[in-house]
Amino acid sequence: MRSSLNVAFAAAAAATLTTAAPNPDLSFRAGTIPQALPDCSNTSVNPITAGELLQATFGCLSIQPTGTNFTRNDIVNAGGNNATCKPHTLLFARGTTEDANLGNVLGPPLITALEAVFLGSDLLAVQGVNNYPAIPIEYCEGGSLTGSQNLASLIHQTHALCPSTKLIVSGYSQGAQVVHNAAQILSASDTAFISSVLLFGDPNNGYPVGSVPAKKVYVDCHVGDDICAHGDQIYEPHLSYCKDVGLAAAFALARSLV
């Protein structure tokens, strides 16, 4: 698998993955997880070049350089105080090897796009998924167990703390696996609480998101994205989803009005 996203625009070092079995703990907890294990049998080294990354992300707003560690913990830091609740809440799971807890090339631009459609940052609470290492081997296993469990807990926590907020759950690359996995272990009440799901470069493309109705789910998979085809190679189509965040934000806005 080619290394994920170095937004300092230097050539990324390639990550070599080995074939992995399904994570038994995750399968035990959620029955059918993982639904579509990626093929991690290709161990060729094929690094992303700076030029490829520049082309893929050209024109995207709010991209964060590697090492920035752009984080938001609005739900965790609320301390049970529902006075901090906002009309809309985003829970986001980043892609493999991206900086915690909102990543670099998809999470930050998505936040900017959502703030635009909701007419202000003061109307959107944001929480990244913590306790989620976002390492390559867990991608091969079907997505991080700890990240999936933490996201499910965050959904429940948000529901309890801010029952009137419109909840957006989103993930990019392995983060989309985390969303799928978390959805499998939600209660019916917490599932119904979700306003919209936004998935980008989804390794589980073609599979339902737990019991979340399909009409609430936006899946963005580019032609030529090997990750969306359950593969292990990152090419330019997997790096350019930041260009689509406006459409995804418009979908979230429309769902919030239902």
Query: What are the percentages of helix, strand and coil residues in the chain, rounded to 5?
Result: 40, 10, 50
Q: What pLDDT was estimated at residue 112?
A: 96
From the list 220, 232, 238, 244, the catalytic residue is 238
Residue 253 sits at φ, ψ, to 5 deg, of -60, -45
Counting every residue written for the chain, the total comes to: 258
The least confident of 36-50, 85-99, 178-192 is 36-50
Q: What pLDDT was estimated at residue 7?
A: 37
Q: Among residues of the chain, what percentage have pLDDT more than 70? A: 83
Is the pLDDT at 252 greater than 90? The verdict is yes
Q: Which CATH superfamily is domain 24-256 in?
A: Alpha/Beta hydrolase fold, catalytic domain (3.40.50.1820)
| Whether residue 25 lies in the annotated active site | no
Q: What pLDDT was estimated at residue 21?
A: 40
Task: Supply the mean pLDDT for the chain.
Answer: 86
For residue range 33-88, list pLDDT tens digits in order: 445 678 787 655 566 777 777 888 888 888 888 887 889 999 999 988 989 999 99
Other CB atoms closer than 10 Å to residue 206's CB: what's the count? 12
Residue 46 to residue 183: CA distance in whole angstroms: 33
Nearest 5°: the CA angle 89, 91, 97 is 150
DSSP readout, 103-149? -SSSHHHHHHHHHHHTT-GGGEEEEE--S----HHHHHTTS-HHHHH
91, 183 contact by CB (below 8 A): no
DSSP readout, 179-237? HHHHHHT--HHHHHHEEEEEEES-TTTTS--TT--GGGEEEE--TT-TTTTT-S---HH
From the list 225, 226, 232, 244, the catalytic residue is 225
Where are the chain's structural domains?
24-256
For residue range 124-167, list pLDDT tens digits in order: 999 999 999 999 999 999 999 999 999 999 999 999 999 999 99
Which of the two residues, 72 and 15, has the higher pLDDT score? 72
From the list 173, 195, 196, 240, the catalytic residue is 173
Which helix (H) or strand (E) segment holds residue 168: the answer is: strand 166-172
| Whether residue 173 lies in the annotated active site | yes
